[in-house]
Amino acid sequence: MTDGSGFRMDRQERDYMQHLFGKHISHGQVRYLRCAHLDVYERLRRGATFTDAVSGRQFFDCFSSAGCFNVGRGNEIIRDALKCALDGHDMGSHLLLSEHKVRFATKLSSLCPGDLNKVVLCASGADACAGAIKLAKGATGRNDVITMNKAYHGHEGYSLSANGKDYYKELFLPLMPGFHIVDFNDLEAVRRLASKDIAAIVLEPIQGEGGIHVATTEYIRGLRKICDEHGIMLIFDEVQTGFGRTGTLWAMEHYGVTPDIMFTAKSISGGLYPNGAVVYREIEPLVGYVEANPLFHTSHGGGSDLGCIVSSAVLDYIVENRIWENAAKAGKRFKEGLERIWSENEDCVKEVRGLGLMIGIEYKYEFIGALMADCLAKQGVWAVYSGNAPQVMRFQIPITAGEGEIDELLRRIRAAVKTMRWYLLPLLPLAKVPPIRMLLDNIHVQIIAFNLVRDIEELVLRFVPKK
């Protein structure tokens, strides 16, 4: 078995790889992916697509590892930047100054709105979330934080406590104290909690894991006003929404509002070398706190020389190619196509929403999300439903995708919906019975049922002559 970019893998090799993955990493993850035909092995990662090593089928990557591949899979310019960096650099010491840290921080701050021009280098989105919350708490001297229902900010420490779904948190209670969760886009709920005890309000301008919910302009501007009135730090999580994903360089630009603190990661890596950052306004008490406590948040892996070289190349590529404009144009074409599919399937599709190339389809029942993932995979579309909203299918294709690719993707989605409708003939009437609907929506039942179907498919394939 060879892991070269163009080499194939037969079914026996795939099964052995899954056995080893289950033995040493997680059998549950194998079963979860296998049940929806998402147990693919990536080869020929280029642009908006990759090729499955087993089937040889080309897949559109509509997950983009939750938004890591804004500049495309295997971007040659970013790859060359990393290759050149490896000739004379390593990670570097996280405590030392370096021109690469300075160059990246300068470029990043120059692209941020308003006076967001002070940078804390971090290792990941969760790490940057923790840094942002620590900065707000330390600068204000307050403890409490308001976050949003269905929000997703990471899986550790402050970021886990800031999440808005119990599924991620219930096994690890008690978590960090002082976190208050309110419904997204509910300004009155925030007003009721706002006080001199609140250090920060944290939110994603568009919830990704929560189901592609877009904040209203009234909500964002209302939050800015509340924060100004009470001395609260407004924090935007632009980990998934930043770097052109929504049709502007930053999602905050849709609202004309600058937060006090913003954090980002994922796509700044170019999909090649992880990096992250907190960017904050040059105002008191933020600047004073960091100057007095310069090591309040450090990371051995964040802001490495290699990471900063790659991230600087990513920023150059984004600006030189103005890829946010392509996200706006391609996103409009894609969303209009999905809305036509919605109008033809109103009995099972509830809504299409999003900005740029961060778009979601919400179905009327949770179980349809898992079913659609399976149907899409069979058409060569790698897409997953939202962890905090299983009834919502997320589409976050690399924002370098062209019109022809968008049209082909829409064709495949339409074909997948056509297949799904055959499954729905018996399932939609059954879903109207509450106990049966509970079974259909249960992820454990779905995994068992879909894996059983997959076992039958694999058995049949053993007797089908190879082409």
Domain ranges of the chain: 1-42, 76-321
The answer regarding whether domain 76-321 maps to CATH 3.40.640.10 reads yes
pTM for the model: 0.94
Per-position pLDDT tens, the chain of length 467: 444 455 789 888 999 999 999 999 999 999 888 888 888 999 999 999 999 999 999 999 999 999 999 999 999 999 999 999 999 999 999 889 999 999 999 999 999 999 999 999 999 999 999 999 999 999 999 999 999 999 999 998 999 999 998 888 888 989 999 999 999 999 999 999 999 999 999 999 999 999 999 999 999 999 999 999 999 999 999 999 999 999 999 999 999 999 999 999 999 999 999 999 999 999 999 999 999 999 999 988 889 999 999 999 999 999 999 999 999 999 999 999 999 999 999 999 999 999 999 999 999 999 999 899 999 999 999 998 887 788 999 999 999 999 999 999 999 999 999 999 999 999 999 999 999 999 988 888 888 888 888 888 777 877 766 55
312 vs 415: CA distance, rounded Å = 40
Separation of alpha carbons 198 and 194, rounded Å: 6
